[in-house]
Structures are given as C-alpha cells and as structure tokens.
C-alpha cells in the first residue's frame, strides 16, 4: 500500500469484493468507483460490474488512513517485556453443576518473570465454608507469591521460587494444617500437597491442570503466517479427572478492536479417538485481547465444552484486567 497527498493506492490481495471493501473504508460502492476512476490511468478504470481480479484501488487519503491505523503491521506477537503490574478478575462457571468460582489475582512482570499473588476464592459469590474446600484454599495459598519464568512464546517455563514455596509449606502451612485438620481423609490430602509443594517444578501439572494457569500461559506469543496457525492443546477437566485434547486454530485478527486492542481468536474441536468416534465432540472458543503497545493480556473470554456419558459439560472462562483506583 502507498499513500500520496490526497489519495492512497491500495493493493488488493486475492479476490476483490467491492461491497466488503467499500464498507471497510466507510464508503458506498459508487463512491469507491467514482473516486478510483478520477485518479487512475485509463487501463485501470473500474465499473460496478467489475471483474473479481483487481490489482489496486485508489481511495481518499482520509478514509485510508483512518482504517490503516487499525491494521496490524506484523503477524508476530512478541512476549511483553515492559515491567508493569496488573490486577485481574477471574470468573469460571461450570455447567450443568451450577458452580461458579471467582477471585482476583495480581500479576507483576519484571522482564520475563511474573510474580503472582492471589486473593481469596469465592464459590457462588460466597466465602468458602466447606471443610475440605477450606483445606484446599489454605494449602493453595502457600504458593503465593509465586514467581514464574516465561518461555518466549508465553508458556510456563519453570517456577523460579520453588524452593521458597517448599520452605513455606514445610515450616508454616503443613504443620498448622496437620494440627488443625485431623482425619484420615485430610491426612491423605495433605500428603498429596506435601509431595507436590516439595517438588513443584517436577509436579508442574498441578498448575497446568488449573484453568487460569492453562489459559493465561497458553503459548500465544508466536508468528501467525497468513494470520492463522494450527495446534493442539490439552485441557484437564477436574470433575471427570480427564485430560482432553483439542485440535485448535489460532486466528490473529487483522484489525484492532474498537477498544484499540489486538484480538486473537482460538477455536477448536475435541480430537477424535477410539472412545469418542461416534458421539458429539467437545468444542473450544476463546478470545484473547492484548494491549496494542505492550502485548500484555487484557482479557480472555470464552468456553470449553466436553461430553461425559453423553452429557454435555461446559466451562465458561472470563478474565479481565481491573482498573486501578487512584
């Protein structure tokens, strides 16, 4: 594409659709044809009944520039490097269980290391009251603050302060919980936590089975040739204790959103295997919005579905950056 004083010469890729092109630049088809024919050479004249192959179209500079600033100039999403701190709200709904959990989590970036601090979890808008749920919440709090090193594609590389987490668990949390919760069931649960927290980098599936960590550290920082890319993602569903593979397609949107964010759509279908050949497959649909300048995650919204005994289950996931109050 090139621009001059009062018009821009727009290169057309692929088949030309006059209706869509006109709408994109906020003009009518008649206005596009009229302006183009006023500025082109004789061999470039167009009519409303034009052929589907067009090399260039001339447009008013104003219309072109208003849209051009919204177009991504690169198909590569680079890992954020700016040191900054963000607060996120996380809401996860499970159906048909009629269960919702929500919490706030603070993410502080220092180069490629993220420090996460999580607030208390609410279940169906209430504080956790069940004994076992309280035990899990108190044990999980041992993780924080949690320091994670990023891969270049945004995936979780390793737990930087794994030794510090193990020390907190052994010296503080584990003795207190063992003294407070005394039953055969809680002893088994605490032993599982002990094995995990003392070997956190070897037990990374503990985090990867958590929906927040799985989606927040999805490897979205890649190059998307032709604005798309195929992959496979494994999602663990806790209520059926199974990991399901989804064949996915990343779709990097060519234009920024109305809120000036980069949009990355991810769609997928449950990978076929011997156990699901003759039944409906689960689906995955997610929309990531990233900051235009820093590429940091602004929001993640979507759902992941699966089937168990021919019954559909749905996980709705929402993550939003929270505005800081002055």
- pLDDT digits 0-9 by tens, 166-208: 999 999 999 999 888 888 999 999 999 999 999 999 998 999 9
Residue with tokens 């936590």: 193
* Residue 196 belongs to domain spanning: 113-215
> Considering the domain boundaries, does residue 117 fall inside one?
yes
Final residue of a structural domain among 163, 196, 215: 215
The model's pTM is: 0.84
Question: Contact, 270 vs 292, CB < 8 A?
Answer: no
Whether residues 181 and 118 fall in one domain: yes
Final residue of a structural domain among 68, 97, 122: 68
Helices 184-197, 131-140: crossing angle, 10 deg rounding: 20
Whether residues 210 and 123 fall in one domain: yes
pLDDT band of 326, cuts 50, 70, 90: low
> Considering the domain boundaries, does residue 151 fall inside one?
yes
Percent of the chain with pLDDT over 70: 97
> Considering the domain boundaries, does residue 47 fall inside one?
yes
d(CA 319, CA 225) in angstroms, rounded, equals 27
Question: Contact, 126 vs 102, CB < 8 A?
Answer: no
d(CA 55, CA 73) in angstroms, rounded, equals 20
CA dihedral 47, 50, 54, 58 (to 10 degrees): 20
pLDDT band of 309, cuts 50, 70, 90: confident
Final residue of a structural domain among 200, 215, 230: 215
> Considering the domain boundaries, does residue 189 fall inside one?
yes
């Amino acid at each position: 594409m090139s621009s001059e004083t009062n018009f821009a010469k727009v290169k057309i890729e692929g088949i030309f659709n006059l209706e869509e092109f006109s709408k994109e630049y906020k003009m009518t088809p008649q206005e596009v044809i009229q302006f183009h024919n006023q500025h082109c050479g004789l061999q470039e004249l167009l009519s409303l009944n034009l052929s589907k192959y067009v090399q260039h179209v001339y447009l008013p500079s104003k219309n072109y520039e208003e849209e051009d600033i919204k177009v991504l100039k690169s198909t590569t999403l680079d890992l954020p490097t700016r040191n900054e701190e963000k607060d996120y709200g996380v809401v996860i709904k499970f159906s048909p269980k009629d269960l919702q959990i929500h919490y706030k989590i603070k993410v502080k970036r220092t180069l490629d290391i993220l420090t996460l601090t999580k607030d208390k979890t609410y279940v169906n808008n209430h504080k956790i009251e069940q004994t076992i749920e309280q035990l899990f919440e108190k044990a999980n709090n041992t993780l924080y603050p949690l320091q994670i090193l990023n891969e270049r594609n945004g995936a979780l590389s390793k737990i930087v302060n794994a030794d510090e987490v193990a020390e907190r668990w052994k010296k503080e949390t584990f003795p207190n919980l063992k003294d407070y919760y005394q039953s055969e069931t809680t002893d088994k649960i605490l032993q599982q936590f002990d094995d995990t927290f003392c070997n956190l980098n070897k037990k990374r599936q503990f985090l990867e089975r958590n929906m927040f960590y799985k989606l927040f550290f999805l490897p979205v920082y890649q190059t998307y040739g032709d604005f798309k890319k195929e992959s496979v993602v494994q999602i663990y569903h806790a209520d059926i204790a199974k990991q399901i593979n989804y064949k996915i397609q990343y779709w990097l949107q060519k234009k920024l959103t109305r809120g000036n964010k980069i949009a990355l759509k991810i769609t997928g279908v449950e990978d076929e295997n011997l156990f699901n050949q003759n039944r409906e497959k689960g689906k995955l649909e997610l929309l990531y919005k990233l900051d235009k300048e820093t590429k940091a995650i602004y929001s993640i919204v979507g759902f992941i579905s699966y089937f168990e005994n021919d019954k559909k289950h749905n996980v709705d996931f929402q993550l939003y950056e929270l505005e800081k109050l002055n």
